[in-house]
């Protein structure tokens, strides 16, 4: 998924650059390029989120973790992961309902290009499902670590 995200980001940069050149030098309107770049950015953002979570690369506040004892910090991480899992599972579910609605009703954007809306909803749904799975794995690992530390203590 990381490679797809990188390709989507590159495609978005190329699309926006060509839009600037086309509008500035050729004085032509380009209504499709804005939506295409947004679709690419949605894909890059959501498809890479599980990988970023796997390396714990999301922005976090580390001031608290340095002050807490190791065991309390493990509990804090487990609680945060569980809360994130609940949110991401709900987000994935709602994204899937939007995907189904857009697919079954044939929804498109309101521009003259009118690409189907199921494309960004599919990217959102897939990305959030992957993120929820990653968070579920991290919750299982955290629970296992907490159980092992209780057995040692």
Strand partners, 108: 116
Q: What is the pLDDT of residues 46-104, one digit of tens each?
A: 999 999 999 988 777 777 888 889 899 999 999 999 999 999 999 999 999 999 999 99
- C-beta atoms surrounding 80 within 10 Å: 15
State the residue range of the domain holding 94: 2-152
For the chain, how many structural domains are there in total?
Answer: 1
The CA distance from 33 to 105, in Å, is 24
The structure's pTM equals 0.88
Structure tokens at 62: 């580390």
């Amino acid at each position: 998924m990381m490679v797809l995200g990188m390709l989507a980001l590159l495609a978005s940069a190329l699309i926006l650059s060509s839009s600037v050149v086309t509008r500035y030098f050729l004085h032509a309107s380009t209504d499709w390029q804005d939506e295409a770049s947004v679709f690419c950015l949605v894909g890059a953002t959501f498809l890479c989120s599980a990988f970023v979570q796997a390396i714990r690369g999301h922005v976090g506040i580390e001031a608290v973790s340095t002050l807490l004892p190791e065991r309390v910090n493990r509990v804090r991480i487990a609680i945060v992961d569980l809360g994130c899992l609940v949110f991401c599972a709900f987000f994935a579910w709602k994204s899937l309902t939007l995907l189904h609605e857009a697919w079954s009703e044939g929804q498109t954007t309101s521009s003259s290009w009118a690409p189907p809306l199921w494309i960004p909803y599919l990217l959102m749904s897939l990305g959030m499902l992957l993120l929820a799975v990653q968070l579920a794995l991290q919750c299982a690992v955290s629970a296992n670590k907490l159980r092992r530390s209780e057995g040692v203590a």
